[in-house]
Amino acid sequence: MSRYRGPKLRITRRLGSLPGLTMKISEKENSPGKPGKPKRGKRKNDEKENNDKPKKRTEYGIRLEEKQKLKFNYGLTESQLYRYIKEARRRQGVTGLILLQLLEMRLDSLCFALGFGKSLGNARQLVNHGHITVNQKVVSIASFQCHLGDIIGVKDKLISKNLIQSNLKEKESRYLPGHLKFNLPKLEGTISDYCDRDDVRLQLNELLVIEFYSRR
């Protein structure tokens, strides 16, 4: 499956807040498709009763929803997410936390956390267009896995600096995770540690994601 490029608010209405996908809030409260159009030959009262009655969620459906949150928030394809799952299993430690740390150490995730991009999609675009550097070298791969001590900066070009400064002005009240240090005059961020669970703003039960892939 390719990366999702459809309506973002439709996804947040179904899955809840996804800060990496969009910070916008839909004016609609119901999930997509509710209330649906009444079926032909069915009484309105019966249709209303069926719409008001909540559907029972299965264990598989709950796990699938948590997996979809992770996938849409970080803009991953199914194959990419599964590769991260396998890598998290291979390493020693708490698999769920390691999975989140791997995703947060992606270059596009770090750029978003530093405020370089308005969303993860926007941060990914900045990386792909060659505006971002790692240790003073331009890196144009959004999934590039950074390491402790790496310095995330901006290419020494006027257009690159203007883009980043514009995004930073719009996110003056941005939340900076504890594992990052940011130097505003130099437009540089340093990775000082691996992220804690509290540093991840996505509301997610990562254990259910691991369980979803337990049979693969």
For 106-140, what is each residue's pLDDT tens digit? Answer: 999 999 999 999 889 899 999 999 999 999 999 99
**List of domains in the chain:** 8-98 (no CATH), 106-193 (3.10.290.10)
The helix/strand/coil state of 134 is: strand
pLDDT (0 to 100) of residue 20 = 82
% of the chain with per-residue pLDDT over 70:
81
Give the whole-angstrom CA distance, residue 116 versus residue 113: 8
pTM, two decimals, is: 0.83
pLDDT in tens, 26-84: 666 666 655 544 445 555 455 454 555 566 789 899 999 999 999 999 999 999 999 99
- Per-residue b/e over 105-139, b at no fewer than 16 CB within 10 Å? bbbbbbbbbbbbbbbbbebbbbbeeebbbbeeeeb
pLDDT (0 to 100) of residue 13 = 81
